[in-house]
Amino acid sequence: MKLVSYTSDSKTRIGALLPGGIIDLHGAAEEYARLTDDIGGPDITDHLPHGRMIDLLRGGADALKTLQQALTFFQDTAINEVKHPAVSTELLPLDEVTLLAPVIHPGKIVCVGMNYPNPELAGSAGAPQYPVLFLKAASSLTGHQQPIRIPRVAKEVLYEGELALVIGKPGKYINKENAFEHIAGYIIANDVGARDLEARTSQWTSGKIADTFCPLGPALVTRDEIPDPNDLLIRTTLNGLSVQHGNTSDMIFDVPFLISYISELTTLEIGDLILTGSPKRNRGAADPRIPMHPGDVVSVEIENLGTLTNPVLAEEQ
């Protein structure tokens, strides 16, 4: 499933991204429960009380399984119009909604730096012994097609296309063998950073926490749709020019290791995000590292997840 957070009619909702548009999950769940009540259909409305993705994730695997049943039902009725004439739920065209970051208020956004080999360094030189971690603020999140705003104090702002993990089951000291059980799904992320602000201190945070510096989307793709997150093509383009091109198989620390290692340091909670790092290559050559400017458009594409696109504006725009 491809799950989204969006606004429509000034209300924040969660939905499913289907061919041709978005279906509102709360409305669909209520109607599904009503139409299937006489045949014992499951009720998932308890998992969607406030239109927040985190509430759905708290419902666990059972809620997601039932939701998949409801969406299959509506694909056969609301979309294909072949089974149930009483269905009133309709698809919302994408141009009538505003997509938000799929998880709006995560407890933590844990980012992994230096997790891909650097072609400018020979062999394993410069590879970290442990994952290099830093945090982003929830206020840095923004959605697909929403602008990245360059702060007036920043002069060198760069893209970093990444695979993001969404925690669906809490845990501490998680074994690598059990790591995937704690993942609800995957999202495309762009770990935007201002290199000139990062260079002010020995910590990167100053250049990473700006508003809109963590585009996320367009959808949360559930774990069942991605058999192996450690083998996904990832590509970043700036104004159509390829600037990053790699594969998650190149990561120095793979997905299970990151889940296990980070859970040794902090309890992973439902809705937490882990950004797994950005390729430093562009089809084998070094990433050209072209700064972004107002008027640019940056896109991150990850195999089987879709494409995250954001226009770039000045903070004042």
218-233 confidence digits (pLDDT tens): 999 999 999 999 999 9
Give the pLDDT mean for 29-39.
Answer: 67
pLDDT of residue 37: 62
Give the pLDDT band (50/70/90) at residue 257: very high
On average, the pLDDT of the chain sits at: 89
3 state SS of 262: helix
Q: How far apart are alpha carbons 270 and 229 in whole angstroms?
A: 19
Q: Give the pLDDT confidence score for residue 79 in this predicted structure.
A: 55
pLDDT tens track for 300-310: 999 999 999 99
Coil vs helix vs strand at 132: strand
First to last CA, the chain: 35
What is the band of 46 on the pLDDT scale with cuts at 50, 70, 90? low
Q: Within the chain, which residue ranges are assigned CATH 3.90.850.10?
A: 103-314
Closest CA to 208 of 141, 291, 300, 308: 141
Instruction: Let me know: does 173 contact 158? Beta carbons within 8 Å.
Output: no
Model pTM above 0.95:
no
Q: What is the pLDDT of residue 65?
A: 81
What average pLDDT score do residues 246-269 get? 98
Answer yes or no: is pLDDT of 38 > 50: no
- Is residue 307 within 8 Å of 190, Cβ to Cβ? no
CATH code 3.30.2320.80 for 103-314: no
